[in-house]
Amino acid sequence: MIDVTGKTHQLSAYRGKVVVLEWVAPSCPYVQRLYRSGSMPATQAMAGAAGAVWLQVNSSAVGDMAPNKSIEWQKKFGVFAAAYIRDESGRIGRLFGAETTPHLFVINRDGLVVYQGAIDDQPNASQANTMAAHNYVREALNALKEGRRVEPATTKPYGCSVKYGAEP
C-alpha cells in the first residue's frame, strides 16, 4: 500500500503490533461528524498511545481527494494516523470487504482481524452526543491490551457506502 506521501506500507511489516484500518471518505457526513466531534481523532490518539498503528484507507472512486488535499484534511481535523492510503483500484477495500466509511478493522499482534465493524453504537447520533457513544474500537483495543478476548468481534458498520470503481 502506498500512502499520500509516497511511503510504502505492508501489513506484514507491522506484525507484533496492533493495527487499526479505518476506511475513510472525507466527504461522507458520518466521517465528518466523527471528526468534527473529536471522537475519531481521540480514538486514534488512544490507539497511538497504546502503540497501535492506525492506517486510513480511502477505497471510494467517488469523492476522493488529491494527496495534498488529503494531507490538509488530516491536519485540519487533528488526524493521528501513520498513513492515508488512496486505494483507487479498490483492491485493498475489496480484500477486507470494507462496506462503509467509516468501517474499521482491528488486527492483533499475530496479524489476525479480531474486530471489524462500526466505530460505535450510534449510527444516528448528533455531533454533540457522539463522544458519549459506546466506542467498539476503544473496547477492542482495551481488550487486547488487557489480554482479553475482543467482544463483540463484529458489528454492523454504518456510514456512506464505499463507492468502488470498476474492478481492475
Does the residue 31 lie in any domain?
A: yes
Q: Does residue 3 sit within a domain?
A: no
Report how far residue 116's alpha carbon sits from residue 19's, in angstroms, rounded to the nearest whole number. 12
Confidence at residue 142, expressed as pLDDT on a 0 to 100 scale: 97
Confidence of residue 145 (pLDDT cuts 50, 70, 90): very high
What's the domain count of the chain?
1
What are the phi and psi torsion angles at 161 (to 5°)?
-65, 145
- Mean pLDDT within 133-145: 97
Q: For residue 121, give the C-alpha cell.
A: 453504537
Q: What's the whole-model pTM score? A: 0.94
Look at residue 64 and tell me if it is in a domain. Answer: yes
| 147 assigned to some structural domain | yes
In a domain, 43, yes or no: yes
With respect to residue 14, please indicate whether it lies within any of the assigned structural domains: no
Looking up residue 62, the CATH number of its domain turns out to be: 3.40.30.10
Residue 134 has pLDDT above 90, yes or no: yes
- List, for residues 106-120, the tens digit of each pLDDT value: 999 999 999 999 999
CA 39 to chain centre: 12
Q: Where are the alpha helices (DSSP H) in 50-148?
A: 67-76, 91-96, 136-145
Domain that holds residue 52: 19-161
Q: What is the pLDDT of residues 44-67, one digit of tens each?
A: 999 999 999 999 999 987 767 787
Q: Is residue 111 part of a domain?
A: yes
As a whole number, the mean pLDDT across the chain is 92
